[in-house]
Structure 1
Amino acid sequence: MKKILLASVALVGLSAAASAADLPRRVAPPPVFTPVPVFTWTGFYAGFNAGYGFGTNDRAGPTVLGVGPATGLVATPTVIAFPGQRSADGFVGGGQVGYNYQFTPGSGVVVGIEADAQYVDFGRDRNRFAATGPIAAQQVFNPNGISGLDYFGTVRGRLGYAFDRTLVYATGGFAYGSGGGRDFGLPNRSRDEFQTGYVVGGGVEYALPTDSFLNFFRSSAVTLKVEGLYVNLDQGNRNNGAFAINNAGTVITTASPGVVVVNAGQTRRDTEFAVVRAGLNYKFNGF
């Protein structure tokens, strides 16, 4: 009897185990979907740049003047020679800050504003002159109106179109600059005049992928750009074209009595130059 009862219990246990095995197993929940962020150019940025600047005016020949005692500059007839345009190019470097707004993430229109300040190292010897005798002058000007610069800066709008991480843009706005000693005096005196004008240009900017070996921040915030600018600064100088002021304060020009123009180079009224530069920016919002 006991054997029959134990066999019955064992049979019931096996049947229950088989039934449990036939039950559906608990299905693991699906993985949580995390969307990949879409890159946008919107945000504040700052960076630095370096490049090359060069004059855009046609080269001028030398200006040679015969100066007599009637000018009050010399005791005996003297020849003054100003060379033509020289050293009109050189290094340009500085930094920039700005803000972009992209209307549609991914690809779309981008508008922005950028300000930059640049050190300039060209054009320092363009106003030098040589004379056959001593000159009694307070200030000596280059009749060609050519000047050098120590620095310049711009405040520009930007309008472009983004192809995901590539931005093609045009730019333009206000420009300013000073330095370089436009008006060279004796002995070793010069006047650095602040100038204003305009700037136009364009460029291409690219946002580095996070795994790029150039992307030391390992984020989508690092961008590289290459751009070209044309800068025109109006000298705004009432003495532009004059070449000296004598000790009595009289402005001497090429039309003054006692001045003979032997050879005149092209007159320059503006400081004009172009800049080609590369830059790196860091965008603070990260995407």
Structure 2
Amino acid sequence: MKTILLAAAFILAPVGMACAADINETSPVAAAYDWSGLYAGVDVGYAAGKSNLFIAGAGLGGTDVNAPLDPTGFVGGVHIGVNQEMANRLVLGAEADLAYSNVDRVSTFAGAGALLNTELKWSGSARLRAGYAFDRTLPYITAGVAAAKYEVSVITNGPGGTIPVHDETHLGWTVGAGVDHAFTDKWIASVEYRYADFGKKDLSVPLFGPGTVSNVDLKTHNLRVGLSYKF
């Protein structure tokens, strides 16, 4: 009987050792997503503008004009950027974008018997970004410089027809926040809000002769969704 038990123990010993080794072996852990690298993509969204046309009282009976323009509409464009993820999951980066705009409005030019047509032709920015990675999800903040091509025209019923009075590129700044999500190792979806202040510029053509103080400003609120490819 003892001989049989010793033989069984001798046979089963390697099996037990193998099972123990399997139990003690550490299961491989999936590596966290790495945000570092170059990316590029497209984005679309909606922009609401806040704009005001100011004309001093000279030539208007001493009354200043403050005409709200406020164009709104859709934007769409391209972007390119680069990220660098740190050991503590902080992600720093830079991004540039350029968007074509269908952002416009026709409003009444009160007191002048005419209409004002405004159009944001294009806008772009160059920004820094900073975020914190939750594996494949990256909330971030962003800020930088911004530019926009802005046009204003007066539409009359007389022989003058449409009179362009402003056709300038405005320079300013922008700030915002968003969330990126990598749904594959290469494809990243994003949603972003940005506020931009493009400053104030004098009208290209004075409406009431040389020396009349007249200017127009432009600010926008942008909400965009995007799709990027990470190289």
TM-score, reference length from structure 1? 0.58
2:195 to 224, 230, 252: 230
2:49 to 55, 71, 74: 55
CA apart distance, 1:51: 0.9
Which sections of structure 1, spanning at least 5 residues, go unmatched? Answer: 1-21, 69-81, 134-139, 209-218, 246-250, 255-266
- Contact 2:197–2:219, Cα closer than 8 Å, also in 1: yes
Matched, 1:196 2:190: no
Partner of 1:168: 139
- The number of residues matched between the two structures is 209
Partner of 1:182: 152
Alignment RMSD (CA, Å): 4.1
Tell which structure's C-alpha radius of gyration is larger: 1
Partner of 1:148: 119
**Greater RCO (Cα-Cα under 8 Å, separation 6 or more):** 1
CA distance in 1 between counterparts of 2:168 and 2:59 reads: 28
The 1:232–1:87 alpha-carbon spacing in structure 2 relative to 1, beyond 3 Å, is closer
CA apart distance, 1:207: 1.1
CA apart distance, 1:64: 10
- Contact 2:100–2:121, Cα closer than 8 Å, also in 1: yes
2:207 to 243, 258, 269: 243
The 1:198–1:86 alpha-carbon spacing in structure 2 relative to 1, beyond 3 Å, is closer
| Cα deviation digits, residues 186-238 of structure 1 (max 9, x gap) | 44342421111111111111111xxxxxxxxxx4111111111111112332x
CA distance in 2 between counterparts of 1:132 and 1:98 reads: 48
SS at match of 2:33: coil
Structure ranking higher in strand proportion: 2
CA distance in 1 between counterparts of 2:119 and 2:177 reads: 24
CA distance in 2 between counterparts of 1:88 and 1:112 reads: 31
CA distance in 2 between counterparts of 1:172 and 1:92 reads: 19
TM-score, reference length from structure 2? 0.71
Q: Percent identity of the aligned residues? A: 30
Partner of 1:14: none
**Superposition map of 1:61-210 within 5 A:** 84-85=67-68, 88-104=71-87, 108-126=89-107, 131=112, 148-179=119-150, 181-184=151-154, 186-190=160-164, 191-208=166-183
Partner of 1:281: 228
SS at match of 2:226: strand
CA distance in 2 between counterparts of 1:48 and 1:114 reads: 13
